[in-house]
């Protein structure tokens, strides 16, 4: 994922004349388009998958877009079951319950777990797919969060760390050491959005639209085949947009402390845990990442949030990994990589 391996997503900047509002799972997303000719018909499908609300907007002049949208939804629901660590039918559940034994997995699972570990390596553990036991301890896995004791966190933290994931490439097997548990929540949604785009393009290479899940968006194709979708990034402390980005292709993901949280004694405890402390990461209100693909955007948004206090490192180094970053730090200070600004409207 060197910078040289990434292509900048080109932009078009024109006056906005069509608005479409979507609100999901703590995010406030405005998608704006442009009408330069009679609009292509877009089929819109809303449902629940991946533990959140999903919005599928598809246009095609070749295939009935409803057929494409339903195929995408079927795939999202398949992946919801497959990678849910709490579902006994899930391959992740099977790996977590294997008591440290080798587990044979399919190529899709093997590739995704390897990708998650690779992101952990290149972010020095800021993104970590092995926090399953910590997430359970905090209660965020079942939406019943509570404040653990310091001793509980310290003990549970011993059973995490991406270096405890072993791979048998020859036999396509995975093994977990030290009692860790996988939770791919920080990357599985991005993978699902990539699969959604692949499905749309398999039906019609010229299909356009987008798929949105919990605020993360994968562009399938430019609006009406030529114009950018414009995404408004939510202000983490107000129910309104604070910035706009223009995308013809690619993906955008946001991690924020306003998605899932509880408050105790005037302090907010959110679900994005710092792998080094076991506590919710501090110093950042939200992190938005634009990338060429949704897997990169999803993983790096989590890592950028965790590393927010080291914002200079994030805005300078993440573009080399393929992520263009905007951070909203505690107090509301905004920091952006120079590459992120390429996706904004000219002032």
pLDDT of residue 40: 63
What is the Cα 222 distance to its own chain's centre? 21
pLDDT band at residue 296 using 50, 70 and 90 as cut-offs = very high
If we measure between CA atoms, which residue out of 187, 165, 162 comes closest to residue 174? 165
pLDDT of residue 144: 82
Percent of the chain residues past pLDDT 70, beyond the cut: 88
* CA dist., res. 102 & res. 98, Å (int): 7
* CA dist., res. 284 & res. 156, Å (int): 24
pLDDT of residue 346: 62
- Give the model confidence (pLDDT) of 171-218 as tens digits: 999 999 999 999 999 999 999 999 999 999 999 999 999 999 998 999
**Region 231-257: what's the mean pLDDT?**
95
pLDDT of residue 83: 98
CB 290 within 8 A of CB 247: yes
Cα of first residue to Cα of last residue in the chain, in angstroms, is 31
* CA dist., res. 336 & res. 342, Å (int): 11
- Give the model confidence (pLDDT) of 122-164 as tens digits: 999 999 999 999 999 999 877 788 899 999 999 999 999 999 9
- Give the model confidence (pLDDT) of 249-290 as tens digits: 999 999 999 888 888 888 888 999 999 999 999 999 999 999
* Residue with token string 């359970």: 136
pLDDT of residue 262: 86
**Region 43-51: what's the mean pLDDT?**
97
* Residue with token string 């992101």: 119
The region of weakest confidence among 34-38, 97-101, 138-142, 146-150 is: 34-38
pLDDT band at residue 18 using 50, 70 and 90 as cut-offs = very low
CB neighbour class for 56 (10 Å; exposed up to 12, middle 13-18, buried from 19): buried
Check whether 320 has a pLDDT greater than 90: yes
pLDDT of residue 307: 97
SS3 of residue 78 by DSSP: helix
pLDDT band at residue 98 using 50, 70 and 90 as cut-offs = very high
**Region 316-323: what's the mean pLDDT?**
96
User: What phi and psi, each to the nearest 5 degrees, are found at residue 330?
Assistant: -55, 130
Strand partners, 176: 165
**Region 16-38: what's the mean pLDDT?**
39
- The b/e string for 215-251 (b: 16+ C-beta within 10 A; e otherwise) is bbbbbbbbbbeebbbbbbbbbbeeeeebbebbbbbbb
* CA dist., res. 112 & res. 123, Å (int): 17
CB 183 within 8 A of CB 129: yes
pLDDT band at residue 41 using 50, 70 and 90 as cut-offs = confident
Structure tokens at 90: 């899930």
């Amino acid at each position: 994922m060197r910078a040289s391996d990434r292509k900048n997503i080109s932009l078009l900047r024109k006056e906005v004349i069509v608005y479409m509002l979507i609100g999901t799972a703590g995010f406030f997303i405005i998608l704006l388009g442009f009408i330069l000719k009679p609009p292509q018909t877009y089929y819109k499908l809303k449902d629940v998958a991946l533990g959140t609300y999903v919005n599928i907007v598809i246009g095609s002049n070749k295939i009935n877009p409803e057929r494409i949208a339903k195929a995408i939804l079927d795939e999202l629901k398949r992946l919801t079951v497959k990678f849910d660590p709490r579902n006994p039918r899930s391959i992740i559940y099977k790996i977590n319950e294997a008591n440290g034994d080798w587990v044979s997995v399919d190529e899709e699972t093997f590739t995704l777990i390897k990708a998650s570990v690779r992101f952990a390596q290149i972010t020095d553990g800021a993104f970590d797919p092995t926090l399953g036991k910590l997430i359970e301890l905090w209660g965020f896995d079942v939406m019943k969060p509570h404040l653990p004791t310091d001793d509980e966190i310290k003990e549970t933290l011993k059973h995490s760390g991406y270096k405890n994931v072993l791979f048998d490439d020859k036999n396509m097997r995975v093994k977990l050491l030290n009692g860790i548990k996988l939770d791919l929540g920080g990357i599985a949604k991005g993978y699902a959005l990539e699969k959604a785009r692949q499905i749309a393009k398999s039906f019609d290479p010229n299909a356009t639209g987008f798929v949105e899940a919990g605020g993360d968006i994968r562009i399938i194709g430019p609006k009406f085949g030529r114009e950018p979708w414009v995404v408004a990034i939510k202000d983490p402390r107000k129910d309104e947009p604070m910035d706009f980005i223009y995308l013809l292709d690619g993906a955008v993901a946001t991690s924020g402390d306003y998605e899932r949280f509880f408050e105790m004694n005037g302090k907010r405890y959110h679900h994005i845990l710092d792998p080094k402390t076991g506590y919710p990461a501090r110093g950042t209100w939200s992190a938005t990442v634009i990338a060429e693909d949704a897997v990169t955007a999803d993983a790096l948004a989590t890592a950028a949030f965790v590393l927010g206090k080291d914002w200079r490192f994030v805005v300078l180094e993440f573009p080399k990994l393929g992520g263009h970053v905007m951070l909203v730090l505690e107090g509301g200070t905004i920091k952006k990589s120079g590459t992120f600004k390429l996706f904004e409207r000219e002032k």
